[in-house]
């Protein structure tokens, strides 16, 4: 698993958002709004509740004034347009008052085990005002702006698993409704999206009175939630190796199962061809100022035309169509290869949707104490040859160091030779640690056990654990040097965000990106429909309803 491929991932039907939406649809979930205390300017609080799997979850939303100079997507921001918690149950008035004193302060607040997720979002100034203005005058927003921007608010952090006193994941991980990675976080963001829809319609009615109109259903469905993501996501992938393994195992197993299909049914072929067309239009609507991503997107648009030309019904009707297509794709870019993975998985939900039921948990990496150093050395040679091949004598190989800033503990990347702080480096230099371990093994008794070795060398406990974890979890390590001058952290971000189900990556640098979440996903009103799972590669004109202006 190389960074370059991870940096080309697309969301698939196995992405976390897709799983949540299928679950909400399967349970025919009904979202209610028991509290709406929003004033004429759009400020106040609201509560949305949804029963799921026998429990009720409530999004508590706070909307507050924010001066433009304080609007920042960075972790180091201290105020936001809107703030939220996902509450376990239905909050009482007393709970709401307690939350009102803490939630708007985010990291500076303090929370209880009844709070499952903490997050915040800032307005997309350019679209939010435009939509309110148009709706208040009885018009729908400009379709081109909806296509280009795609969200009214942009989340800037979504915290779970015990942060700032909220519930540990262990509180909810056994609940079937939230089984799987990041399901509580995804539920919170989906509810936030519904709040953004209600918020613009509310302000439009206040401004326009009887002239105002609600969002057209097709437009509403195309408005997702934005997200701005920085380096904080990158260390997560390194510090959760078994989770990463499970995600990749699910993906690779699903891909292998589809490739093993001897024949494609006619309806599957039709579906695939329809999706290729839709993906082409989706790519046309994906805009970014980032020159690297823009170039890649341009290339994949052209390559997708080649895909469409190749994959005629007759070509796909021959044996093993999906295996042949993936093999054929090796001549195209990684971006196109990964797009094809998403495209061929999509029509095979019946085959692959449930394969990961038992894999989604994250086991804590463990040592294998009885393993001899000879065996350990052999595993390093077999699985970490990529790490041993790196020349750390070259300054370029250790150019960066990862660290946590005292500025609200924001993860950052520093230039080792020109910035202070390398003495507090985070252990993301896995390849370099592997080499240190391999060196230590050259002077050790090969028959010695790991257990006694670690008594002598506790400094190597962390990397020994990683190697031994990789033996059991072969997808647990990213096979690249994360401190190299060539490292592009944004590749890590894209991998994780694609697993979430994010689309329309809009990088702002090599370590920061904006994305769109839940674009095209069912809304509160349409979650019960038969097309609830049909929102991959969303386009504004999807469906029968024309967009009015």
Residues that bind another protein (CB under 8 A): 68, 71-76, 110, 113, 122, 124-126, 154, 161-171, 228, 230-231, 364, 366-367, 369-370, 403-407, 409-414, 419-421, 424, 427, 449-452, 454-456, 458-465, 489, 508-512
Q: How far is the CB of 255 from another protein (least distance, A)?
A: 32
* Pick 69 or 330: Cβ nearer another protein: 69
Residues 6+ apart with CB under 8 A from 320: 259, 260, 261, 262
Q: What is the 3-state secondary structure (H, E, C) of 289-354?
A: CCHHHHHHHHHHHHHHHHHHHHCCHHHHHCCCHHHHHHHHHHHCCHHHHHHHHHHHHHHHHHHHCC
* Pick 45 or 494: Cβ nearer another protein: 494
Pairing of strands 224-229, 151-159: parallel
* Pick 374 or 508: Cβ nearer another protein: 508
Give the number of other Cβ atoms within 10 Å of residue 97's Cβ. 11
Q: How far is the CB of 369 from another protein (least distance, A)?
A: 4
* Pick 362 or 532: Cβ nearer another protein: 362
Phi-psi region of 165 (alpha: psi -120 to 50; beta: other; left: phi over 0): left
Q: How far is the CB of 436 from another protein (least distance, A)?
A: 12
Q: Which two tokens stand for residue 337?
A: 């290869």
Nearest to 103 by CA among 79, 77, 89, 83: 83
Q: Residue 114 half-sphere exposure, CB side, CA atoms within 13 Å?
A: 13
Nearest to 348 by CA among 314, 327, 325, 332: 325
Q: How far is the CB of 524 from another protein (least distance, A)?
A: 28
Give the separation between CA 351 and CA 360, rounded to whole angstroms.
18
Q: How far is the CB of 57 from another protein (least distance, A)?
A: 17
Contact 444, 453 (CB under 8 A): yes
Q: How far is the CB of 364 from another protein (least distance, A)?
A: 7
* Pick 194 or 230: Cβ nearer another protein: 230
* Pick 113 or 327: Cβ nearer another protein: 113
Q: How far is the CB of 338 from another protein (least distance, A)?
A: 23
* Pick 173 or 261: Cβ nearer another protein: 173
* Pick 302 or 409: Cβ nearer another protein: 409
Give the separation between CA 521 and CA 527, rounded to whole angstroms.
8
């Amino acid at each position: 698993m190389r960074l370059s491929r991870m940096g080309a991932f697309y969301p698939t039907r196995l992405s976390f958002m897709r799983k949540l939406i299928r679950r909400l649809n399967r349970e025919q979930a009904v979202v209610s709004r028991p509290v709406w205390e929003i004033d004429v300017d759009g400020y106040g609080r609201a509560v949305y509740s949804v029963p799921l799997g026998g429990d009720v979850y409530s999004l508590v939303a706070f909307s507050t004034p924010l001066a433009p100079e304080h609007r920042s997507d960075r972790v180091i921001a201290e105020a936001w347009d809107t703030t939220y918690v996902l509450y376990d149950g239905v909050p009482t008035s007393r709970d709401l008052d307690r939350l009102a004193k803490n939630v708007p302060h985010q990291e500076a607040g303090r929370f209880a085990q009844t709070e499952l997720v903490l997050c915040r979002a800032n307005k997309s100034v350019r679209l939010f005002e435009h939509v309110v203005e148009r709706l208040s005058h009885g018009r729908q927003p400009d379709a081109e702006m909806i296509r280009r921007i795609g969200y009214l608010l942009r989340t800037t952090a979504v915290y779970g698993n015990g942060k700032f006193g909220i519930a540990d994941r262990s509180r909810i991980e056994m609940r079937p409704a939230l089984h799987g990675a990041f399901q509580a976080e995804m539920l919170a963001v989906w509810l936030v999206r519904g709040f953004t829809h209600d918020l613009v319609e509310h302000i439009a009615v206040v401004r326009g009175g009887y002239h105002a109109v609600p969002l057209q259903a097709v437009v509403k469905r195309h408005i997702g939630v934005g997200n701005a993501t920085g380096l904080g996501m990158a260390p997560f992938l390194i510090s959760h190796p078994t989770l990463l393994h499970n995600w990749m195992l699910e993906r690779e197993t699903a891909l292998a199962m589809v490739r093993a299909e001897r024949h494609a049914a006619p309806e599957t072929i039709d579906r695939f061809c329809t999706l290729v067309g839709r993906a082409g239009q989706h790519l046309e609507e994906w805009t970014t100022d980032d020159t690297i991503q823009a170039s890649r997107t341009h290339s994949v648009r052209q390559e997708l035309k080649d895909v469409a030309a190749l994959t005629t019904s007759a070509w796909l009707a021959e044996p093993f169509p999906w295996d042949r297509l993936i093999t054929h794709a090796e001549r195209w870019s990684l971006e196109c290869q990964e797009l094809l993975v998403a495209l061929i998985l999509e029509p095979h939900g019946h085959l692959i949707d449930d394969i990961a039921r038992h894999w989604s948990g994250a086991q804590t990496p463990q040592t294998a104490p009885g393993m001899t150093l000879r065996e350990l050395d052999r595993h390093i040679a077999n699985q970490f040859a990529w790490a041993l091949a790196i020349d750390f004598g070259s300054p370029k190989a250790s150019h960066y160091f990862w660290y946590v800033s005292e500025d609200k503990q924001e993860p950052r990347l520093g230039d080792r030779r020109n910035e202070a702080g390398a003495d507090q480096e985070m252990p993301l230099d896995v390849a370099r640690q592997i080499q240190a371990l391999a060196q230590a093994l050259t002077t050790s008794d090969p028959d010695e056990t790991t257990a006694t070795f670690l008594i002598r060398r506790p400094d190597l406990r962390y990397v020994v654990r990683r190697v031994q974890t990789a033996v059991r979890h072969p997808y647990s390590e990213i096979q690249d040097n994360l401190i190299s001058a060539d490292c592009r952290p944004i590749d890590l971000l894209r991998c994780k965000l694609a697993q979430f189900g994010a689309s329309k990556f809009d990088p702002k640098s090599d370590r920061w990106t904006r994305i769109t979440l839940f674009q095209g996903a069912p809304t509160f009103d349409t979650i019960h429909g038969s097309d609830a799972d049909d929102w991959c590669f969303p386009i504004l004109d999807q469906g029968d309803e024309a967009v009015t202006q």
